[in-house]
Structure 1
Amino acid sequence: HLLLGAPYTSPLVIPGDWLVDELEGAVEVGGFTDGLFRWPTRKRSGRPSPILCGDLLRAVRTECAESVQFWWGFSPSLVGRWRRALGV
């Protein structure tokens, strides 16, 4: 799973900070994913959801879906939903 646009870096945040999600607007950071690339998740009740911002947004737009799924540890349905919403 070669990454064409690497390197990718995670935002330097801690839980309680705020980021702007491309689809949801301002969201509070609640934690991080467990993928090969750790990524901030939004704080909310229920299952945490990755925040679509920064280098992840760039990767979703430029990398193949399978690479994003592999390196970030996201499900095919989540990556597909993002790509459709972004018109990729």
Structure 2
Amino acid sequence: YQIIEELGKGGMGKVYKAIDKEIDARVALKLIKPEIATDKKTIERFRNELKTARDISHKNVCRMYDLNKEEESYYITMEYVSGEDLKSFIRRA
């Protein structure tokens, strides 16, 4: 993956806009915080949720792709959706 820019951060970690270089496609990549990534039960829960989420296909739901590990870091890849983030939208409303 090639990281393009940081999109935001939250309790789970940071989210980046990235390019999947294998298929030349934009994705959102969520890098999970190290303190969360070291909890095996949490990672197993992510795996189970991802299996369920992969089966969901709806225009109002972001598609989940994979949970991967690079060295000691876990990350989740998902559909990249362009537009304004919710926090900015609420501030503007």
The TM-score normalised by the length of structure 2 is: 0.31
Q: Which structure has the higher relative contact order (CA within 8 Å, separation 6+)?
A: 1
| TM-score normalized by the length of structure 1 | 0.32
Bigger-Rg structure (1/2): 2
Query: Relative to total residues, which structure has the larger strand share, 1 or 2?
Result: 2
Q: Which has the higher helix share?
A: 1
